[in-house]
């Protein structure tokens, strides 16, 4: 028991800091009223009654009538997906009022295993930003249909749950395995239950009896709701719905339809999941998601509750999430609730952001040199991309093609078509059908554990010239190349291999754009302010020269993710996601 805090709350001990003259957003009652906040040792000890706007303290700050909201909380994200290190990520989101994040380092876990996760944990401990790290439950995400750079068994997860800085099990993406009682997934969930920590879910399109089975198994949240119907089904079942607005999946507009008019809901939180550094700087972080909720008709105070009190309750954190006695002094001052334009940020009573600017840089933890050389592949040749047909007498073949759809949720599915066979190879260039031209795709296992390679065909991905290659390819992050001709694809793959990862574009035999990502092939070592323009430049070039249309990076990286419906490709081949089965490229030949 801290007697000093009690005495200060009573008024018998001086305050360290007073934030005076603010409009308090009370997330308990939904009220907004003039008040002042008293702080000792980083803890709020007193909040005045409505109308009392001044407290005496050793130091005081004039809130200038701005709105005081609790520190904003992101309940689900991957730091690596910003393409920034933890320190540079923190520097990017703190000015937007984010004071705590819940991160799943499964991106680096799929590449560097436990040591990669440990690097992210240790790099986060030295930050002003509060970071709760969850043990990646799915490395690889779908072990029946892919390999990764590591494999996290129940024994590995149980060990990681004992680490200082691991607060639960991250999104359980193998929902098919959970619903059907896969021993690996059951073992992971049982280990987390024994540890008494957070079980985070991931269950796209799962409703009805399957949803009940998933919830009974343990995971109690989902950030993958894409429709009003799916969201209301999950809310009715008591599931925590993390409404997501990422760089690629914009779910607020649809999910808000399930919420508006129902009053304040306690099982709604907000998250960003995968947001590029350029978008973080340009539009904001959780404050942007709050604004999007307000724009879709959710009352401002409720939207703030989702990002604060609801999030804290979901995380079993009674020490944050509200501006109230006994809570940590994580406080954000904003000019207006509708814009959530952040002025000042306090974490534990310390001024982190003043007048929109960071007060000091965050401490960066240098990665080991071997984390900067993670593309382990021999030279790639053009014949490696030939789509061979085994039947020596075949003149045509019916094939599966992965189709990309720009609909909400950006789904992929299989379509079938017939292609000619010439000299024992498919000829996709002859295709003039639905969402043509067909693009080629190749995936190489790059972690040095096997020689796996898979080839496929794509429709609707929109590559009209050249090729793009990437070592950001969720979630196993193999070297993946997409293109319209094998010559440029080979150059792209080999250049990226030599440059130790990133994203690259090749047209007419020349590299026209390169985005370096040396850390595990998925992150930059640069600060957000200098790196973000490079992301935008890369996007601009490939949109103009290679992949016209929106979301070009998403089209590059989504094709390999075998836990998002319905058709994908991994290092083992084409994947029917719903069945979690490999299916052949060639269905039949004639």
d(CA 479, CA 497): 8
pLDDT given for residue 550 in this prediction = 87
**pTM attached to this predicted model:** 0.95
Residue 253 has pLDDT above 60, yes or no: yes
What is the predicted pLDDT for the residue at 255? 97
CA atoms within 13 A of residue 236's CA, in its CB half-sphere? 11
Rounded Cα distance between 476 and 308, Å, is 32
Instruction: Please give the structure tokens belonging to residue 521.
Output: 């092939």
Closest CA to 574 of 326, 402, 405: 402
What strand order describes the sheet that includes 221-222? Answer: 221-222, 240-244, 268-271
Report the alpha-carbon angle 556-561-565, nearest 5: 110
> Radius of gyration over alpha carbons of the chain, in Å?
25
Residue among 140, 65, 69 at smallest CA distance from 98: 69
Neighbours of 388 (CB within 10 A): 12
Using a pLDDT cut of 70, give the percent of the chain over it.
99
Q: What's the rounded mean pLDDT across residues 475-480?
A: 96
pLDDT at 481 over 90: yes
- In this structure, the strands spanning 15-25 and 32-40 are antiparallel
For residue 409, pLDDT beyond 90: no
Of the candidates 143, 210, 11, 227, the residue with the CA atom closest to the CA atom of residue 563: 143
Instruction: Determine how many CB atoms are found less than 10 A away from the CB of residue 395.
Output: 11
pLDDT confidence band for 135 (50 / 70 / 90): very high
The single residue listed with the structure tokens 């640069």 is 526
Predicted confidence band of residue 411 (pLDDT cuts 50, 70, 90): confident
DSSP-derived secondary structure for 83-115:
TS-HHHHHHHHGGGTEEEEEE-THHHHHHHHHH
Q: If 0-12 CB within 10 Å is exposed, 13-18 middle and 19+ buried, where does residue 321 land?
A: buried
If we measure between CA atoms, which residue out of 299, 291, 267, 290 comes closest to residue 30?
299
Give the pLDDT band (50/70/90) at residue 306. Answer: very high
pLDDT at 405 over 90: no
Q: What per-residue confidence (pLDDT) applies to 408?
A: 54
Q: How confident is the model at residue 41 (pLDDT cuts 50, 70, 90)?
A: very high
pLDDT band at 125 (very low <50, low <70, confident <90, very high): very high
Q: ω into residue 517 within 30 of 0, thus cis?
A: no
Q: What per-residue confidence (pLDDT) applies to 434?
A: 82
CA distances from 581 to 103, 143, 370, 441, 576 (A): 29, 10, 34, 19, 5
At 538-583, the pLDDT tens digits run 999 999 999 999 889 989 998 999 988 899 999 999 999 999 999 9
Average pLDDT of the chain? Answer: 96
Residue 503 has a pLDDT of: 98
What is the spatial distance between Cα 583 and Cα 449, in angstroms, rounded to a whole number? 23
Average pLDDT over residues 346-361: 97
Mean local confidence (pLDDT), 121-150: 96
Q: Can you give the pLDDT at residue 406?
A: 66
pLDDT over 90 at 9, yes or no: yes
Please say whether the beta carbons of 271 and 77 come within 8 A: yes
Name which of 153, 10, 106 is nearest 474 in CA terms. Answer: 106
Place 328 in a pLDDT band, splitting at 50, 70 and 90.
very high
State residue 435's pLDDT score: 87
Average pLDDT on 205-224 reads 97
pLDDT, one tens digit per residue, over 60-92 is 999 999 999 999 999 999 999 999 999 999 999
């Amino acid at each position: 028991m801290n007697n000093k805090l009690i005495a200060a709350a009573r008024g018998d001990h001086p305050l360290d800091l007073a934030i005076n003259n603010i409009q308090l957003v009370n997330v308990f009652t939904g009220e907004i009223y003039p008040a002042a906040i008293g702080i000792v040792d980083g803890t709020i000890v007193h909040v005045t009654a409505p109308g009392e706007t001044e407290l005496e303290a050793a130091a005081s700050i004039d809130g200038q009538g701005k709105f005081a909201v609790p520190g904003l909380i992101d309940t689900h994200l991957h730091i690596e997906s910003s393409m920034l290190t933890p320190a540079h990520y923190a520097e990017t989101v703190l000015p937007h009022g984010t004071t705590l994040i819940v991160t799943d380092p499964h991106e680096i876990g799929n590449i560097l295993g436990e040591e990669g996760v440990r690097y992210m944990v240790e790099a986060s401990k030295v930050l002003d930003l509060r970071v709760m790290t969850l043990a990646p439950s799915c490395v690889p995400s779908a072990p029946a249909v892919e390999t990764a750079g590591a494999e996290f068994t129940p024994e590995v997860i149980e060990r990681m749950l004992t680490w200082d800085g691991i607060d639960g099990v991250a999104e359980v993406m193998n929902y098919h395995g959970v619903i059907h009682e896969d021993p690996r997934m059951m073992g992971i969930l049982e280990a987390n239950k024994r540890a008494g920590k957070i079980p985070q879910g991931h269950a796209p399109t799962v409703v009805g009896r399957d949803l009940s089975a998933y919830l009974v198994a343990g995971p109690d949240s989902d950030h993958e709701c894409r429709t009003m119907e799916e969201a209301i089904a999950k809310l009715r079942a008591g599931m925590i719905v993390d409404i997501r607005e990422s760089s690629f999946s914009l779910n607020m507009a649809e999910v808000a339809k399930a919420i508006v008019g129902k009053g304040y809901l306690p099982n709604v939180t907000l998250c960003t999941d995968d947001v590029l550094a350029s978008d973080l700087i340009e539009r904001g972080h959780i404050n942007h998601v709050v604004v999007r909720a307000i724009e879709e008709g959710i009352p401002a105070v409720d939207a703030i509750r989702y990002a604060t009190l609801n999030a804290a309750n979901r995380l079993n954190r009674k020490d944050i999430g509200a501006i109230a006695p006994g809570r940590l002094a994580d406080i954000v001052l904003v000019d207006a609730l509708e814009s959530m334009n952040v002025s000042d940020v306090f974490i534990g009573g310390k001024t982190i952001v003043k007048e929109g600017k960071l007060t000091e840089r965050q401490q960066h933890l240098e990665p080991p040199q071997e984390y900067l050389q993670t593309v382990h592949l021999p030279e790639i040749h053009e014949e490696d991309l030939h789509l061979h047909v085994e039947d020596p007498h075949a003149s045509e073949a019916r094939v599966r093609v992965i189709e990309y759809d720009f609909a909400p949720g950006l789904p992929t599915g299989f379509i079938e078509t017939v292609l000619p066979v010439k000299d024992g190879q498919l000829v996709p260039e002859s295709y003039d059908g639905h969402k043509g031209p067909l693009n080629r795709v190749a995936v190489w296992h790059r972690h040095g554990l096997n020689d796996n390679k898979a080839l496929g065909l794509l429709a609707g991905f929109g590559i009209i010239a050249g090729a793009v290659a990437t070592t950001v390819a969720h979630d196993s992050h193999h070297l993946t190349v997409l293109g319209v001709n094998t010559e440029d694809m080979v150059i792209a793959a080999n250049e990226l291999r030599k440059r130790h990862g990133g994203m690259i574009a090749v047209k007419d035999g020349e590299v026209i754009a390169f985005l370096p990502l040396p850390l595990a092939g998925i992150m930059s070592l640069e600060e957000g302010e200098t790196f973000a323009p490079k992301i935008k430049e890369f996007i601009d070039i490939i949109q103009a020269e290679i992949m016209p249309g929106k979301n070009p990076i998403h089209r590059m990286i989504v094709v390999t993710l075998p836990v998002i419906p319905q058709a994908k490709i991994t290092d083992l081949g084409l994947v029917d996601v719903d069945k979690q089965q490999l299916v052949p490229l060639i269905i039949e030949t004639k």
